[in-house]
Amino acid sequence: MASSTPQEDRCSHEDFELSSGAIDPAEGSVECVLHGARFDIRDGRALCAPAYSPVPKFPVKLEHGGIWTRDDRG
C-alpha cells in the first residue's frame, strides 16, 4: 500500500469531498464519487480527467508519538 500525505478533502474539479470516494491501495489513489476524477494519495496530483489540478497537500511532522499537520496556504 502506498503511503499517503495529508491532503485537502476537496476534489479540485468540482469542490466535492474526496473522503466519500474509494481508495485504491494498489494504485495509491482516491476517486471522487461525483465525476470519477482520481488523485494520487502520495502527492495530490490529478491522475485523470475531469480534474487537471492537484489537491493541496499539507506538511506533516511526527513528534513525541503524535502526528502534526497544518494548512500553510494563508
Return the higher-pLDDT residue of 6 and 21.
21
pLDDT at 71: 84
Which grid coordinates are listed for 66? Answer: 503524535
pTM for the complete prediction? 0.83
Q: How far is CA 69 from the centre of its chain?
A: 14
pLDDT digits (tens, 9 = 90+) for 8-46: 999 999 999 999 999 999 999 999 999 999 999 999 999
In a domain, 60, yes or no: yes
In a domain, 74, yes or no: no
Provide the pLDDT confidence category of residue 1 given band limits of 50, 70 and 90.
very low
Question: In total, how many domains does the chain have?
Answer: 1
In a domain, 10, yes or no: no
Whichever domain contains 53, its CATH number is 2.102.10.10
In a domain, 3, yes or no: no
pLDDT at 18: 96
**Number of residues written out for the chain:** 74
Provide the pLDDT confidence category of residue 2 given band limits of 50, 70 and 90.
low
In a domain, 50, yes or no: yes
Which residues, in sequence order, are CB contacts of 64 under 8 Å at separation 6+?
A: none
Structural domain of 41: 18-69
In a domain, 46, yes or no: yes
Q: Please give the DSSP secondary-structure letter assigned to residue 65.
A: T
